[in-house]
Amino acid sequence: MPDPSLQRDAALFAPIAQTGRGFYFTLVVLGIAILWGAVAYWTQFEYGLGVTGLQQPVSWGFYVTNFVFFIGISHAGTLISAILRLSKAEWRRPITRMAEVITVMVLFIGAGQILVDLGRPDRMMNIILYGRYQSPLLWDATSISAYLFASTIYLYLPLIPDIAILRDHLGKHRFLYAVLAMGWTGTPRQQKILNRAIAILAIMVIPIAVSVHTVVSFVFSMTIQPAWHSSIFGPYFVAGAIFSGIAALIVAMAVIRRIHRLQAYLKPIHFRYLGYLLLVMTLLWFYLTFAEYLTGYYGNGPEEMKVFWSKFTGPFWPTFWGMVALNFVIPMALLVRLQHHAVGKTVAASACIVAGMWLERFNIIVPTLSNPRLPFPETMYWPTWVEWGETAGSFGLFILFYVLFVKFFPIISIWEIREGREVGLKEVEERLLTYLPDGTEPEPARRHTKVPT
Amino acid sequence: MNGRPSPFDRAVRACQWAIAGLTLVFITAIVLWIVHLIRTAWRLGDVASASIGISLVAIPLFLTLLGVGLSVFWGLLRGGDRR
């Protein structure tokens, strides 16, 4: 790194420039998980869904749970990043890219779950050729495609100045970086184009993200199955998605901070602020869960109550009460005071919430299918090694994608950190003055913004 | 320096055009697919209104995203003179 101006942020280049034994060890561990998933899928492909625990009437189990869970986690990135960008939250700078990468990587894995769930993948083209647009499943396909495309561009555009830095200074993978840098040299015209596109996307991506999880909830709520046919499912799913997304982001931040020694960039204050957001989302999740269950209980419909009691005291009580403990009780205890040990507390709470939100998705899907409105006897669902393998493989693949991204691109936006130092401080001061009674309105902040190269 | 781009630069530029082309193909394919679903619904008398309602939102959205992506691609390549 001969350029002295880049020396200051050398830690951000280190994961790309150097490859330690830990990287290869991680690849081996993830490779084993992915191999297990591949063997599981091959077995299912060869013998059909009979090798899984799926049966009538529980035709959706781990796969659809994983689908809803992964799509929910995807709200970590683009949505949170866009909100923080638009609200000019200066503390966002080291975390936005980490969040955006989660979104793009996890959307691929989430969408893939539907393909894995197909009993006859050889007939997949029929969905494309003869799909019916009154089915919420196709609304899902449309909104997820839009979100994936928007999130990919939204990840890529702010990455361009950093790729140009790598192209000019790293000395390896030069062809790859030259292609992806799109001829970036940091001219004022290029900066203007890029800033305008990022601003447009930040606005566009918020309604798209909200629509995605609303539409995912429609897959359930548009049916008249007990405990699914609810008008608050849309906001309930969106809130849950943001909740699990923030938690996943905090876990990712903690892992990267520790492995790549980025304590100077990811400070306790970042964890504390995200912890406060998480606390608000914990309360919101509890409020919506309470409202959802109280409405069902008060209605006292016979089919609804079968599902209700199967969760509260019946065969699904461990997953239901586990969900309540992991999503509400433990996070509340940990997040209510974050003055000290903010990193440890938020990470512990987030790990609980990630697990708890997976259980929440399971609790929504499986107990209802086990107690359907149609006259089936109550059926239990027990996943086989095939579903466990596919789940392990999916998580392994997601982490592998993430690890490879960190290996090739800066996981913390270098130019945004430099912009924060060179331009952001002045901008914040000017903005603060406008809030005060004797302050004058400055020129719009973005006109001053210069992307350092 | 004769001003002609080197083979490296030409290969880079070709890949960049390929990325832009693939993006265009991807979005065109999605839009055509949505149009195909409307036509299928219309032909079968199968609640065409649902298809049209969703398409009215989805098609302009995909085209706007494509427009943003391609305008950045075109703008960066044209506005990238060395300082």
Distance to chain A for B79, nearest Cα, Å: 6
Structure ipTM: 0.89
Report the residue from A142, A178, A185 with minimal CB separation from B82.
A185
Task: Write phi, then psi, for A127 (nearest 5 degrees).
Answer: -65, -40
Instruction: Suggest the residue from A125, A129, A142 to mutate for an interface test with chain B (most B CBs closer than 10 A).
Output: A142
> What's the pLDDT at B2?
59
Average pLDDT, chain B: 84
pLDDT per position as a tens digit, A314-358: 999 999 999 999 999 999 999 998 888 899 999 999 999 999 999
pLDDT per position as a tens digit, A396-428: 999 999 999 999 999 998 888 888 888 878 888
DSSP code at position A51: G
Whether chain B has a CB inside 8 Å of the CB on A149: the answer is yes
Whether chain A has a CB inside 8 Å of the CB on B79: the answer is yes
Q: What's the pTM value of the predicted model, to 2 decimals?
A: 0.90
CA angle (A415 as vertex; A412, A417 as ends), nearest 5: 65
The gap from C-alpha B58 to its chain's centroid, in whole angstroms, comes to 14
Chain B residue whose CA is closest to A185: B80
Half-sphere exposure of B20 (CA within 13 A, CB side): 19
Smallest CA-to-CA distance from A39 within A310, A385, A306, A299 is with A385
Q: Which two tokens stand for residue A95?
A: 């975390």
> What's the pLDDT at A448?
47
pLDDT per position as a tens digit, A360-383: 999 999 999 998 888 777 778 899
Pairwise CB contact (< 8 Å): B65 & A134: no
For residues A197 and A158, what is the distance between their CA atoms, to the nearest angstrom?
Answer: 10
Whether chain A has a CB inside 8 Å of the CB on B40: the answer is yes
CB distance A91 to A273 below 8 Å:
yes
- Residues in Cβ contact with A38 at an 8 Å cutoff, skipping those fewer than 6 apart: A393
Is 60 exceeded by the pLDDT of residue B82?
Answer: no
pLDDT band, residue B76 (cuts 50/70/90): confident
> What's the pLDDT at A344?
93
Whether chain A has a CB inside 8 Å of the CB on B29: the answer is no
For residues A242 and A72, what is the distance between their CA atoms, to the nearest angstrom?
Answer: 7
pLDDT band, residue A442 (cuts 50/70/90): low
> What's the pLDDT at A17?
86
Q: Which two tokens stand for residue A234?
A: 């849309």
Whether chain A has a CB inside 8 Å of the CB on B12: the answer is yes
Candidates 1.10.3720.10, 1.10.540.10, 1.20.1630.10, 1.10.10.10; correct CATH number of A53-418?
A: 1.20.1630.10
For residues A435 and A428, what is the distance between their CA atoms, to the nearest angstrom?
Answer: 11
Radius of gyration of chain A (CA): 23
Give me the numbers of helices (H) and strands (E) for chain B, helices first please: 2, 0
- Residues in Cβ contact with A332 at an 8 Å cutoff, skipping those fewer than 6 apart: A279, A282
> What's the pLDDT at B83?
42
> What's the pLDDT at A1?
53
Q: Which residues in chain B are closer than 8 Å to A193, comparing Cβ atoms?
A: 71-72, 75-76, 79
Q: Is A111 helix (H, G, I), strand (E, B) or coil?
A: helix
Q: Taking residues A70-78, what's their average pLDDT?
A: 84
CB distance A101 to A405 below 8 Å:
yes
Q: Taking residues A66-91, what's their average pLDDT?
A: 84
For residues A77 and A73, what is the distance between their CA atoms, to the nearest angstrom?
Answer: 8
Q: Taking residues B13-20, what's their average pLDDT?
A: 91
Half-sphere exposure of A233 (CA within 13 A, CB side): 25
For residues A167 and A173, what is the distance between their CA atoms, to the nearest angstrom?
Answer: 8
Pairwise CB contact (< 8 Å): A132 & B16: no
For residues A96 and A211, what is the distance between their CA atoms, to the nearest angstrom?
Answer: 21
pLDDT band, residue B80 (cuts 50/70/90): low
Chain B residue whose CA is closest to A164: B80
Distance to chain A for B11, nearest Cα, Å: 9
Report the residue from B33, B62, B80 with minimal CB separation from A146.
B62
Q: Is A77 helix (H, G, I), strand (E, B) or coil?
A: coil
Chain B residue whose CA is closest to A453: B83
Q: Which residues in chain A are closer than 8 Å to B72, comparing Cβ atoms?
A: 157, 182, 193-194, 197
Smallest CA-to-CA distance from B61 within A212, A202, A197, A146 is with A146
Pairwise CB contact (< 8 Å): A157 & B72: yes
Report the 10 Å Cβ neighbour count for A259. 15
CB distance A272 to A338 below 8 Å:
yes
For residues A295 and A268, what is the distance between their CA atoms, to the nearest angstrom?
Answer: 40
Domain coordinates of chain B in residue numbers?
A: 7-77
Task: Write phi, then psi, for A51 (nearest 5 degrees).
Answer: -80, -10
pLDDT band, residue B77 (cuts 50/70/90): confident
What is the secondary structure of A76-128 as a DSSP string? GTHHHHHHHHHTT-GGGTTTHHHHHHHHHHHHHHHHHHHHHH-S-GGGHHHHH
Report the 10 Å Cβ neighbour count for A423. 17
pLDDT per position as a tens digit, A10-40: 888 888 888 888 899 999 999 999 999 999 9
Is 80 exceeded by the pLDDT of residue A444?
Answer: no
Whether chain A has a CB inside 8 Å of the CB on B60: the answer is no
For residues B25 and B35, what is the distance between their CA atoms, to the nearest angstrom?
Answer: 15
Q: Of A38-47, A50-59, A136-145, where does the model show the most confidence?
A: A38-47
CB distance A378 to A55 below 8 Å:
no
**Which residue type, as a one-letter code, is found at position A88?**
K
For residues B14 and A193, what is the distance between their CA atoms, to the nearest angstrom?
Answer: 22
> What's the pLDDT at A89?
82
For residues A442 and A434, what is the distance between their CA atoms, to the nearest angstrom?
Answer: 7
Q: Which two tokens stand for residue A317?
A: 């009580």
CB distance A357 to A247 below 8 Å:
yes
Q: Which residues in chain B are closer than 8 Å to A186, comparing Cβ atoms?
A: 83
